Amino acid sequence: MESATRPDRLLLDLLALESRAARVEGAFAADPELGRIWRAGAALSEACRSVGLEDIHVLEGDVVHRAYENRATEAETARGTEAVTALLRILRRPGDLVRDTDGVLTRCWRAAAVIDPDGRDAEIGAATAPVARALAEAPTPFLGALRAATAFRIATGSAAPSADRLVFMAAEHALRRAPRRAAGRRGAARPDEGAGQGAEGEGAGALLGHIAAGWILLPSIALSEGGFRAWSPGTRPGLENLMRGLGAELDRTLGQIALLRGWRTQARAAAARRNAKSRLRDVVTLAADEPILTAARLRAALGVSRRAAFTLIDEAAGAGILTCVTPRTRWRVWVRPDMAARLAMRRGRTAGAGQGGVSTSDLTEGVPQDGPGADAADRAGEPAHRDAEALAAREAEALAALDTALARADALLARYAETGTRRKDRPE
C-alpha cells in the first residue's frame, strides 16, 4: 500500500497528538492534585531545557540546590539558575492570555533571556492583535498555541526563542481553561489570579509549590530529548520535529501519571496505618502541593513544634513518602521521590573538561553542550529570521499544510455523517 501523502501524515500526527493530550488533560481534570504533582517536576525540567536551548547549561539539581548550599557558585550555574527561576514564575501562573494578552506577552518577554529587553516593547505591542486572533480562531489547543507563538516570534524578530516557548505554553494554558470559563464552573477560571504575585522574592524551590496552570505540552523538552532540534515552529521541518517530540513526551507523561498515582496511594496507605492523632496525613497532603520541604516549612504549614516536625519527617522518610537530598546532619531538605530523581541531575563542580567534573551529557539527554549555541543553530535554520515577511510566508506554508489536513478530516467526517443518515432512513 502506498504511504500516506504529507498532508495526510500531518493530519494523523495532529490527531494522535491531540488525542494523547486529551487523555492527559482528562486525567488531570478528574484529579487536579495529580496534575499539580506532575506539573511541579515538569515545570522545573521544561525551564531548565528552555534555558539550555539558549546555550546556558544548567540542570534541575543545580537550580534547587543553589538555595541550600554554597557549592553552586559557578558563574554559569548562577546565571542559569536565575534564568530558570524567571521562567518558572511564568510557568507557575501563566496568566490569562485571552483577557490580558498584552500583559501576559510582556511578562513572557521580560522573563526570557533577552539582551536589551526594553528595546522591543513596541514590537511586543504589535504582537498583541495577531496573538489574540490566533487564540480566537484556534481549532485545537496545540494549533492555537503554535499560531500564537509564531505570531509573537515574527513580531519580535526571533530575538527571544525562550519567550516564544513561554507564549506557546501560556496560550495552551488559556485555551485548555477556556471551556471551563465558558461553562461557568465555579473556581475553574481563577487559577491565574495573582499571576506573578509574590513571586519576585521566591526561589526556584518555592516556585514549584501550588502550581496553578493548565498546560500539558512541553516544547523545550520535546526539542531536546534524544538530541537537539532547533526551535523553528514557522517552518515545516521545525513543525514536524516539534509534533514528533511532543507526542513522545506525552507518552512519557502517561507513564508518569501511573507512577505518581502509585506514590500517592502508598503514601496515603502508610499515613492511614498511623493512629488517628498522627499528622502524617497532613504531611502527605502538603508534599503533594509542595515537593520540596524543610523542617521549618513543615512547622509553619502544620503549626507543630520543632521536635514534632522532625518526628513527622522521620516517619515520612521511613515510609518512602519523602527523600532527603542534602547529605548532612543539619539544614536538611526533603523532597518527593519523583523530585529526588530530577534533583540528582547536576553539573560537575568544575566547568573545564578533564578536571573531575561530572559531564552534563552523562546526566541528561539533549541539553546542548560545547559548540555553536542554540541561538546560532536557530539562526542557521532560518537565515532570513529578521525578515518579518519571510517569517510570515514560512508560517503560512506550515499552517496551510495543517489547514489542508483539517479540511480533509472535515470532508471525511461529513461523508461518514451522510452515510449514517442514509442508513437511518433506510426501511427495515
DSSP notation for 40-59:
HHHHHHHHHHHHHHTT----
Residue spans in the chain of domains classed CATH 1.10.10.10 = 273-343
151 to each of 171, 387, 399, 410, how far by Cα in Å? Answer: 12, 13, 12, 26
pLDDT tens for each residue of the chain, 428 residues long: 344 556 678 888 899 999 999 999 999 999 999 999 999 999 999 999 999 998 888 889 888 887 776 555 667 788 888 999 999 999 999 999 999 999 999 999 999 865 555 555 556 888 999 999 999 999 999 999 999 999 999 988 888 899 999 999 999 999 998 765 554 444 444 444 444 444 444 677 788 999 999 999 999 999 998 888 899 988 888 999 999 999 999 999 999 999 999 999 999 999 999 888 889 999 999 999 999 999 999 999 999 999 999 999 999 999 999 999 887 667 789 999 999 989 887 765 433 333 333 333 333 333 333 333 334 334 344 444 445 666 666 666 767 777 776 777 666 666 666 655 555 555 55
Ramachandran area for residue 335 (φ above 0: left; ψ -120 to 50: alpha; else beta): beta
For the chain, the residue count is: 428
User: b/e map of 355-380 (b: 16 or more CB within 10 Å)?
Assistant: eeeeebeebbebbbeeeeebbebbbe
Partnered with residue 335 across adjacent β-strands are: 292, 323
Angle in degrees, 0-180, between the axes of helices 141-155 and 388-425, rounded to the nearest 10: 160
Sign of CA dihedral 48, 51, 55, 61: negative
pLDDT of residue 34: 96
pLDDT at 275: 87
Hey, which residues does 293 pair with through a beta bridge? Answer: 334
Residue 117 in grid coordinates: 529587553
Q: Where are the beta strands (DSSP E) in 257-301?
A: 292-293
List, in sequence order, every residue forming a beta bridge with 323; answer none if it has no partner. Answer: 335
Which pLDDT score, from 0 to 100, does residue 205 have?
A: 77
Nearest in space to 374 (alpha carbons), one of 366, 362, 363: 366
**Are 124 and 106 spatial neighbours (Cβ–Cβ below 8 Å)?**
yes
**Which triple of cell numbers denotes residue 304?**
507543630
- Are 293 and 334 in contact by the 8 Å Cβ rule? The answer is yes
SS3 346: coil
**Residues whose CB is less than 8 angstroms from the CB of residue 357 and which lie 6 or more positions away in sequence, other chains included:** 347, 348, 349, 350, 351
Q: Which three cell numbers stand for residue 267?
A: 503514601
Q: Which fold does the domain 273-343 belong to in CATH?
A: Arc Repressor Mutant, subunit A (1.10.10)
Nine-digit cell string for 13: 500526527
Bridge-based pairing state of the strands 292-293 and 323-324: unpaired
